[in-house]
């Protein structure tokens, strides 16, 4: 299963929970953890619709930003 498939699967699960709880899915923010993943994987996730990423170290975030031009 690729990154795009994983994101779709997680979004389907989030939607199912929101439907059960009468919550709005637009109120949920899916955060991708980019820690230790290469820029290519982050780009793939971004192309699949993920737009929020978490990084534990500022230095790693800055490196990723330069490569991705985010």
Q: In terms of pLDDT, which residue wins out, 62 or 30? A: 30
Residue 39 CB contacts under 8 Å (≥ 6 apart), including other chains = 64, 67, 68
Q: Are 53 and 33 in contact (CB under 8 A)?
A: yes
Q: At 16, is the pLDDT very low, low, confident or very high (cuts 50, 70, 90)?
A: very high
- The pTM of the full predicted model, rounded to 2 decimals, is 0.77
Average pLDDT, the chain: 87
70: pLDDT strictly greater than 70: no
């Amino acid at each position: 299963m690729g990154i795009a498939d994983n994101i779709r699967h997680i979004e389907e699960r989030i939607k199912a929970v929101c439907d059960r709880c009468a919550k709005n899915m637009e109120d949920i923010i899916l955060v991708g953890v980019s820690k230790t993943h290469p820029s290519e994987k982050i780009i793939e996730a971004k192309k699949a619709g993920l737009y929020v990423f978490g990084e534990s170290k500022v230095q790693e975030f800055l490196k990723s930003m330069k490569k991705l031009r985010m």
